[in-house]
Amino acid sequence: MAKKKTNTKPSEAEVGCLYVVATPIGNLEDISLRALRVLKEVDAIACEDTRQTAKLLSHFDISKRLVSYHEHNEITRAPEIVIELEQGAKVALVSDAGTPAISDPGYRLVSLCLRHGIRVVPIPGASAFVAALAASGMPIEEFVFAGFLPSRPTERRKALRALATEPRTLALYEAPHRLLDTLEDALEILGNRPAVIAREVTKLYEEFVRGHLEDLVAAARKKPPRGEITLLIGPHDDHAKHADGESELPSKIPLARHVEEIMRERGIDRKAALKLAARERGLTRREAYKQLLITRDE
């Protein structure tokens, strides 16, 4: 009698779950009750630095098996974790601080889990750039998070040029030893925009330095910053300054002059300057180009 075939594929109930757990970026009181519950209930915790995570767990009297998962081993470690999850394990993914996969390891594991039909559950919490934006005083109805800029000067300047026409507030992470170079490049390429250095957010020596990019360059030269740095760069001021000290709305000055001012202030080419001027005036690029041709003819 032929044996009846059995289905060896695990059912949905048997497949595990990956929890993407945000941890404090400084102040341990910022961890959520839900995050603590999940860390207590999972079978294992995949973490960037086992020593760092062990300190956090010890503070809250949690004991769990820790699995090292960082940028140097995630290609091989992610499949190993997925095998555990397919066998029904519940695993929490954490970074050293903040939300995993946000300028931290995690994307590969999350992506692989989804491809294998494994449920991924976010446990939200602290994020340095979000906290910095909230206290920055800058317009943040819309913003662009660019993470870490390239460390090499040529590539960093290239990345800043790509952001030169961006009218929204920029949020960046930067290492303290590269901050001055980044500020100087940003001042040259983006112009003297409003900016904020948010240092050691939620920690004992939390500090916000506000002003314009030239002010922050001077501050960084005088006192090189330490610790975790979030750099926020706002859009250009609403009014263009004239030599007589008065200001005028961009829409009130000739388009050709507006484009020239943007090119001079930000060090970008005419095409990029025209695109930005069009956004500021609420025009399509084609409409702006037609206006530019008319004003030139006149």
Beta-bridge mates of residue 144: 170
- pLDDT for position 137: 93
Domains recognised in the chain with CATH numbers? 17-126 (3.40.1010.10), 129-233 (3.30.950.10), 241-297 (no CATH)
Region for 128 from its dihedrals, namely left if φ exceeds 0, alpha if ψ lies in -120 to 50, beta otherwise: alpha
- pLDDT for position 245: 43
Whether residue 125 contacts residue 22, with contact meaning beta carbons closer than 8 Å, is answered with yes
Between residues 284 and 188, the one the model is more confident about: 188
| The pLDDT of residue 298 is above 60 | no
pLDDT mean over 253-278? 80
- pLDDT for position 242: 38
Confidence class of residue 3 from pLDDT cuts 50, 70 and 90?
low
| The pLDDT of residue 289 is above 50 | yes
pLDDT mean over 14-34? 94
- pLDDT for position 158: 93
- pLDDT for position 246: 45
- pLDDT for position 251: 53
Q: Model-level pTM? A: 0.74
Whether residue 215 contacts residue 189, with contact meaning beta carbons closer than 8 Å, is answered with no
| The pLDDT of residue 297 is above 80 | no
pLDDT digits (tens, 9 = 90+) for 88-133: 999 999 999 999 999 889 999 999 999 999 999 999 999 999 999 9
pLDDT digits (tens, 9 = 90+) for 131-149: 999 999 999 999 999 999 9
**Mean pLDDT, the chain, integer:** 87
| The pLDDT of residue 189 is above 70 | yes
Upper half-sphere CA count for residue 249 (Cβ side, 13 Å): 5
